[in-house]
Chains A and B, each alone.
Chain A
């Protein structure tokens, strides 16, 4: 049995303190980037807290526990998460060591301290779940503003409108935290433009945002070797493959295209089939192998001729086509694009409203889609296929466009792509302040529908999107689209609201609410603006007074993201303090039985398991938990 590692508050504080020190390098206006290399040797850049923390490859289970997966929902705030966590733990520790809980008969002060701390954490969470949203609604929201979908989409049509700067400001401050000052203006403008192009008519804003978020890999092209300002939007869709045949020579427009899901050439022999040559069977007259291949070529010619009569000149294929197909298509003046990825093909199918061809012998006019053009496009070192869709009233409700992200290095293009994707997620959360549980379930359904969307009809696909977007929202006082000035004003305002709340409670002698809890939370919150203005304390004081008069102009932040972040921190604190012993064990990783619940977990949680089991003291009995990280 390996030695037990008893955990004490101090250990927890120490671990979190180390993480805080790393995070602080990239926090706030003076923060910079973190460069990290993957185990593959690939270099990446980030200011995103989640990325930094996961890149550390933390070994200590407590530290891993801190790398909470909350940011998948909001796409933002993992740096603030660590800061808040550290400051809360410090305050709890201070409070616990000051007055150990004397009502219980613990045999050591350490145990007594731990019990008090645990008790405090429980109370904090209970308080937050009960009161926090109302406090925010009354104490914070009035100082902020609201952005609405109309403001936002107006950006493209008339950039002079004053109120639509709101979304851009929100995005700008988000990007500022992600890659610094230099390009945040440019990228936020680009993101706004992208989203306004992808506005679905007669749909909820969340539908459009969810769509962009889901299809982001197919919607952007990273190009390295160019300055960032060369990034741009282009009309239509970019298919990340080159033509397998010479592209269309004549510039005639529009062009007709079909989507293929299998090889045009009929497979003569499937796996397991046996072709007998020269046996003189009664069924087959022709015995020579040559005739089989001749038959194959003839049927292929028939298919090509059929496509030609339909006027098709672009074949988009999910699989590789044979040399004969390519040669015959070239002769018929068609161009072929092979091995198009499933994501891109399903997006193409969705945008064009066509039906992919399954059976090559039955190609009907409804399989054929008319495109404005289909031409090669040179992006960086690659030549891709660029298609644009024809506007058709009943089918297309958006103006499809693709994003080209340019940067000098691959690490940067990746960073920008990630930040854009997270920004969309953040916006989505701003519009739909939902509880985490609801969010994850709705996401699951969306994903499962998306994967089958290649086969399902367009219309049903869309209805599932809509229905999942307006799932019943549980208790939620926050209105959608609430924003507040960035630069620590949320924390400051909530700090005052909590103090006031505590004060009013103590005045009214409400015995149910412990005023020390709100006091503690209020003090912990103050640490965030303190860290932001760490380089100049004068600024901190100035900001404090400005926030009260709501004249701060530093950008915007989403209130609901902040709220969720705070809840996540409190949950994390509670589970951190509940662990009292780390018990290293040696699990034979290849046995299935040792990881019963692992199938439902995601990657990082799998990693958490390797080698550690936690003894979890719950109601004074020792229970071995595999999945301590999961919220009960």
Chain B
């Protein structure tokens, strides 16, 4: 109580979007994130002021969480995007760039914020309902009979993280592994509610990426004193303990225990543990696993009876292990272990990856547990690769709920912008009346929204090239910086790889005014497959979160900071 001090008054900021300091910070944040976007994005090195670990990355989750600002306005946008990333893993940079561009566009224009908010919401509604439609032209239905599109989806994610430093064949290899691991976790034949399995990742440093692999079953640390030559029965019986077997007392309460001299409590407990060991050996258990520590004497006893002992497994592997083996964790020491608590593995083998030697547990039947061994040349790249594989796994899982993907390479954004422009031109009077603003205000608001979308698409370009949009399908194209003449034939394919340039097509630069048109549908019977795909679920949510966050930021009129 003596340290009670009077509270200091709060610091207030009126109209934050008119504040130059905040605007500069917003611009800086946008530039940082823009330069990281896409496969050719520039990397950022994050290191702290006390000489800590240096992280090289272009991932939004790492970047945004390391950007700390004293300005709550910046933090508000930051946490919104980070929350999106923590739910969907993907499209964080897209959401952030779109949100910041939209704020900037509205700020630059003379449009009132309250009108901009209404129009943004209206335009977002147009986009989301279009993306949900059956005849949506920037959406691809995923076919689980072929892994082609799944691999493309995985590859788009992995190649969008240049900090992994992967060559083209390496990217393909990792993409295939990611899809393979994902498919292993989906149970083949289980009626009713399907529960997906787990991918356990084992990172191995110093090896070529191409030696990464996916194995069914689980890898655990190699136990000591395992002789190789021994022939083991098939299948092996397994017991799993979740309680400590180190000889400590289980929870007795808060009271005091008085031990009289001459009583050897330790040996009594050890005797109990050995009794347990005897029981296990009699039941012909060949693999004895404990989450915590096992008393050395018990270990010795078990080994001498030909049982393989694995201790200190850790809580993380307990659930996959009991799923794999079918064993139920035991935590009682005094009662007979029920027969159904025992589990089985088909086989054990010893595997070597670089410096690591591990015990491979193979499942008896079909199992949804698999292990992914990721190899890379150094620690930093390996960390990034690990993150990327987790993101890929998450995105692939999302496709189970909504089996769609969106065209990547900026084509979805340009297409949506063209669609919104076209759609809104047709219902100006009604929409303006509905939103309670004038028709000019409405059209201006829509234009700002579309420009923000196109600006997000344009952010994919980093090498000084220009982004173009074609006036038939409204896909995004890149005009390299070194091409002097703007001829149509040099453009090749569009961003997603679905449209090939033809002499009849017309282009215009992104963010220039063009006469609105209705994007014409593609012929779906062509054998051309898209080369770049984005996650449908993640991108849809990113779009919504970006617009909602921008709307919120535009709505903030006052900031109060508690300085206590």
Contacts and interface: CB of A to CB of B under 8 A. Distances in A.
- A-B interaction: yes
Contacts of A55: 10, 560, 562
Given A227-B544, A277-B260, A331-B340, A38 B562 contact: yes
Interface in B519-564: 541, 544-545, 548-549, 551-552, 554-564
B333 interface: yes
Given A268-B253, A331-B340, A409-B79, A590 B2 contact: yes
Contacts of B269: 289-290
Name the residue in A181, A268, A272, A590 with the highest tally of chain B Cβ atoms < 10 Å from its Cβ.
A181
A409 B10 contact: no
B169 to A, nearest CB: 36
A229 B557 CA distance: 24
A387 B443 CA distance: 49
A293 B252 contact: yes
A326 B291 CA distance: 14
Interface residues of B, number: 84
Contact of B255 (A37, A52, A273): A273
A45 B552 contact: yes
A45 B88 CA distance: 24
B243 A224 contact: no
Given A30-B114, A408-B552, 19 more contacts: A32-B558, A35-B76, A35-B560, A36-B562, A37-B562, A39-B7, A39-B562, A55-B560, A58-B9, A225-B86, A225-B545, A269-B256, A289-B257, A293-B252, A324-B250, A324-B331, A328-B331, A408-B83, A589-B1
A297 B334 contact: yes
A531 to B, nearest CB: 15
Contact of A327 (B72, B76, B243, B549): B243
13 contacts: A35-B559, A56-B560, A180-B555, A274-B257, A275-B252, A277-B263, A292-B252, A293-B250, A326-B331, A331-B338, A408-B83, A408-B549, A611-B6
Interface in A351-389: 380-381
A302 to B, nearest CB: 11
B14 A25 contact: yes
Interface string B51-87: 0000000000000000000001101100110011111
Interface in B351-409: none
A43 B556 CA distance: 13
A44 to B, nearest CB: 9
B12 interface: yes
A36 B16 CA distance: 12
Interface string B248-291: 01111111111110110100110110000000000000000000
A504 B307 CA distance: 103
Interface residues of A, number: 79
B84 A408 contact: yes
Top 3 nearest A-B pairs (CB, nearest first) are A269-B255, A278-B263, A327-B331
B335 interface: yes
Contacts of B333: 293, 297
Contact of A36 (B7, B72, B88, B249): B72
Contacts of B544: 227, 229
Contact of B262 (A278, A294, A409): A278
B319 interface: yes
A269 B257 CA distance: 9
Name the residue in A182, A292, A330, A381 with the highest tally of chain B Cβ atoms < 10 Å from its Cβ.
A182
Contacts of A381: 86-87
Given A58-B9, A411-B76, A278 B561 contact: no
B410 interface: no
Interface in B8-26: 8-10, 12, 14-16
Given A33-B556, A35-B72, A268-B252, A59 B9 contact: yes
Interface in B94-136: 112-114, 117-118, 121
Name the residue in A224, A322, A381, A408 with the highest tally of chain B Cβ atoms < 10 Å from its Cβ.
A408
Contacts of A58: 9
A126 B319 CA distance: 71
Contacts of A515: none
B234 interface: no
Interface string A598-616: 0000000001001100000
Contacts of A289: 249, 257, 265, 268-269
B331 A34 contact: no
A537 to B, nearest CB: 17
B515 interface: no
Given A290-B271, A410-B79, A411-B76, A227 B541 contact: yes
A182 B117 contact: yes
